[in-house]
Structure 1
Amino acid sequence: MTTIARRIASTPIRTATDTWSLIRDLVSVAGQNITHQLDLAANTACMLIAEEHTKTDPIVITGCGPQIRIYTLHGNDAIDGSTVIEQPLMITADDDWRLSIPATGSDYDLAEAVLASVVHVTVYDPATTPTGQSLAGQPVDHKSLMIDLTALET
């Protein structure tokens, strides 16, 4: 699977609201349902960005071609700007596209409850994701996972 990453300057360069607006604009395609769904999730997403959940764990978008991972930069990293990557994305969302935002603890519980009514936007807990679910929130069957190591042999 191809993965595309973006690193968005957030606080103190932008407010959490401005950061979410930029993310929405980067991934939105005119005439698609993405913008409306992202607007429905705006308050929750802004809270999670302000709490810096997206600093180390990405916002993950699937169902739009390659997987997209969006990180936010905060503090000196945002001010320095040397690792900022804010180019727009050219995506085509299918009907099953999903945007997953990281959160932990009570922020996770609150975000999960608020986003329950938003069809394409979910929240994931990075502390539990590797053991039982993919970043898109789909169950992973670890028993059926097979890695072909022959390509690594000399």
Structure 2
Amino acid sequence: MSSVVSRKFRGTPYRNASDTWSEIVELLTQGKDSSARKELRAVAGIAASLITEQAPKQAAIIATCDGPRTRIYCTYDDDALDGSDANEDALSFEPLKGDWAVSLPCPESDLSWVQAALKKHSSRITTRDLASGFALDEAADNAKAMTLDVEGLRNL
């Protein structure tokens, strides 16, 4: 099974949703000016609206790549002000290396408009119903872990 790394960002009222998304983009892009950074910045308004809805409190923002999977949560209210649960430390790997994707949690009531809005900016940044939470995340982890390269075995 692939490795999973988690981070928790301090949301409102410590910082507003736009600034929270900017900090998440910095973490994921490691400050590099890249096409991934441009794509993530292009969806800033959409991502900030989901952060405002507190979707990443209940379900993670998930970044997948050729390396470990990154799960990002946000803390809110007193937890955000206190900051003791926060972990915004840099990652020791490139979280958007190779074939990357980012999945944003979204309330079911906003799912259709968020999906349509994201499609206008990126095919790599998608959304999912936050009610599916870890069930979807774990299914993706397990599917990736259980992939069998039959052609590779035949060539042995």
Kindly indicate whether the alpha-carbon contact (under 8 Å) linking 1:48 and 1:107 is maintained by their aligned counterparts in 2. no
Q: Which residue matches 2:78?
A: 76
Aligned residue identity for 1:100? S
Residue of 81, 94, 103 corresponding to 1:100: 103
**Identical columns (%):** 31
RMSD: 2.4
Secondary structure at the residue paired with 1:86?
A: coil
Equivalent pairs counted in the alignment come to 140
Q: Kindly tell me: are residues 122 and 62 of structure 1, through their superposed partners in 2, closer, same or farther at Cα, counting changes over 3 Å?
A: same
Q: Which residue matches 2:115?
A: 112
For normalisation by structure 1, the TM-score amounts to: 0.80
Q: Kindly tell me: are residues 9 and 130 of structure 1, through their superposed partners in 2, closer, same or farther at Cα, counting changes over 3 Å?
A: closer
Residues in 2 aligned to 1:130 and 1:4: alpha-carbon distance in whole angstroms: 14
Q: CA deviation at 1:96?
A: 2.1
For residues 5-30 of structure 1, the C-alpha deviation after alignment (integer angstroms, 9 at most, x for no partner) is 00000100000000000000111142
Q: Kindly tell me: are residues 10 and 136 of structure 1, through their superposed partners in 2, closer, same or farther at Cα, counting changes over 3 Å?
A: same
Of structures 1 and 2, the one with the larger relative CO (CA 8 A, separation 6+) is: 2
Structure 1 stretch 120-129 or stretch 15-24: which is displaced more?
120-129
Aligned residue identity for 2:27? L
Gaps of at least 5 residues in structure 2 are: 148-156
Q: Kindly tell me: are residues 63 and 23 of structure 1, through their superposed partners in 2, closer, same or farther at Cα, counting changes over 3 Å?
A: same
For normalisation by structure 2, the TM-score amounts to: 0.79
Q: Which residue matches 1:25?
A: 26
